[in-house]
Structure formats: structure tokens, C-alpha cells
Amino acid sequence: MESMNNPESLSLVIAAEQTVIRMYHALDRSDYSCASRCFTPDGIWERGGNALHGQQQILASLSQRSSTLFTRHYVTNFLVLEHSGSVAKAEFCLTVYRSDKGAPPTLPVDRAVAAMLADVECELAFSDRGDWLIRRLDPRITFAA
């Protein structure tokens, strides 16, 4: 395990965190194709009690979401625990706000309350294209509304 105090390690932390944030940003904007491409081709997402395997299964699951669902995912306390070559392990906290009133939301959404808080374990892999992708995403719900 390398020290997190050198510039290369700092770049790794930033790049890994940006991959995770990019995935949730795409998810919140219903860009499910982009969200699924943040995973390795064989990536695993533990989602709603089911293990989704690979980009195609992830995309198929996301495409079944309600068209009027409005969400915002907030990643905090992102920490790379270890990295070795082309693999990194990270943990972070995830707060999710959601609203689905059966119609497209009007902003601001009334009475926003966090729907879920989770501690998330995440494994990332450095791809042949030169970017970090999620190899495994495993949220552990700590609070649910």
C-alpha cells in the first residue's frame, strides 16, 4: 500500500472520487448509459438487495426506474483505504434524497428529507483507456426513511 501523501496518490484519490461522483451525477440526471459506463464491463453493483453484474445489467435495471423519480445523491467522507497498481479500495458515505409524485417535479421540491444514508464500500480498477472505473459498489444502508 502506498502512502497517500505523495502527488501521485492525491491524483488517484481525486480521479477515483470523480468516477464515483460522475456515476451518481449521471444517475440523478437519468443518464443511465453514462452511469453504467462508470463501471468496468464486469462490474458489480449491490443495488436494492440484488447484485447487478456488468454494464448491460446495470443499464437494464436503471432503465426500469420511474420516469418521474427525482433524486439527488451526495457523496461525502470519501477515503481511499488502499491502492496497489491498477486497483483501489475506497469507502464513502452516501446521502440520497428522492421524490416521486407521479409527475415531473417542480423545483424546489417540497419538504425534502433524506430517504437513505449508507456507508459504501467501493473497489475501482484502472482501465486500458487510462481512467478509473467502478469494479464493485456495495452500499450498506445505515438509515432509511
- Rounded to the nearest angstrom, the gap between the alpha carbon of residue 84 and the centroid of all alpha carbons in its chain is 21
Quote the cell numbers at residue 131.
481512467
**Going residue by residue through the chain (145 aa), what tens digit of pLDDT does each one get?**
445 555 567 788 899 999 999 999 999 999 999 999 999 999 999 998 899 999 999 999 999 999 999 999 999 999 999 998 899 999 999 999 999 989 988 889 887 789 999 999 999 999 988 899 999 999 999 999 8
* 20 domain-assigned: yes
pTM of the model: 0.91
Q: CATH number of the domain at 87, please.
A: 3.10.450.50
Residue 2 lies in a domain: no
* Domain extent at residue 75: 7-144
